[in-house]
């Protein structure tokens, strides 16, 4: 009996090279916890882009994806998957537009970071740092604040706000975990 070599050749020629950050069809959707308004009903969100362990759902501005990925690398948050999405961020007092929501997802899927939908990427804020005014993008400031909360969970709220503003204004060399931002001002 002879083997049909034509079949084997056509099979091997149909193989494709798969990029490292390729998302399989089964990984395109995540289950997101609902809010109080939705009576905690879960819903699904589509993941449209992925870089290593950073996944981005629909609605995340393309211009902030590279910023988020670089921040995740600088903060060494590459161990667990991080999923970034746009949505409604609420507290007990109502809607929030200048903070992100952070949730640990079930089944070890990763951590969901929800960026407020009402926050626009082009919005800027002017802050005074060491007697110099800096114009910073509010969305970058809010996201970096949230990533610092994930990276350094034991620190106080003032540390995250001050360090995020300092990093955006002066660069990543300003990240000093041993000192608080108050100590850096002296």
Q: What is the pLDDT of residues 21-51, one digit of tens each?
A: 665 555 677 777 765 555 667 777 888 888 8
Q: For position 30, what pLDDT does the model report?
A: 74
User: 102 versus 176: which is more confidently predicted?
Assistant: 102
Q: What are the residue ranges spanned by the domains of the chain?
A: 22-185
Confidence class of residue 1 from pLDDT cuts 50, 70 and 90? low
| CA–CA gap between residue 60 and residue 69 (Å, rounded) | 13
Mean pLDDT of 116-122: 93
How much of the chain is helix, strand and coil, in % rounded to 5?
35, 25, 40
Across 11-15, 58-62, 88-92, 179-183, the highest mean pLDDT is recorded for: 58-62
| Confidence band for 10, pLDDT divided at 50, 70 and 90 | very low
User: What 3-state DSSP class applies to 131?
Assistant: coil
Let me know: does 147 contact 77? Beta carbons within 8 Å.
yes
Closest CA to 109 of 44, 62, 157, 59: 44
């Amino acid at each position: 009996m002879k083997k049909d070599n034509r079949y084997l050749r056509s099979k091997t020629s149909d193989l494709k090279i798969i990029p490292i950050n390729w998302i399989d069809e089964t990984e395109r959707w995540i289950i997101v916890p609902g809010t109080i308004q939705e009576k905690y009903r879960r819903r699904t969100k589509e993941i449209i882009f992925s870089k290593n362990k950073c996944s981005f759902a629909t609605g995340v501005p393309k211009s902030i994806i590279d910023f988020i990925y670089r921040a995740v690398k600088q903060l060494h948050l590459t161990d667990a998957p991080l999923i970034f999405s746009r949505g409604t961020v609420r507290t007990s007092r109502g809607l929030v537009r200048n903070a992100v929501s952070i949730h640990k997802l079930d089944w070890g899927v990763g951590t969901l970071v929800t960026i407020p939908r009402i926050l626009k990427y082009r919005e800027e804020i002017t802050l005074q740092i060491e007697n110099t005014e800096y114009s910073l993008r509010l969305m970058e400031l809010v996201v970096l604040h949230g990533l610092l909360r994930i990276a350094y969970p034991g620190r106080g709220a003032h540390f995250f706000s001050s360090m995020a503003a300092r990093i955006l204004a002066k660069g990543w060399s300003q990240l000093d975990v041993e000192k608080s931002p108050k100590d850096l001002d002296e």
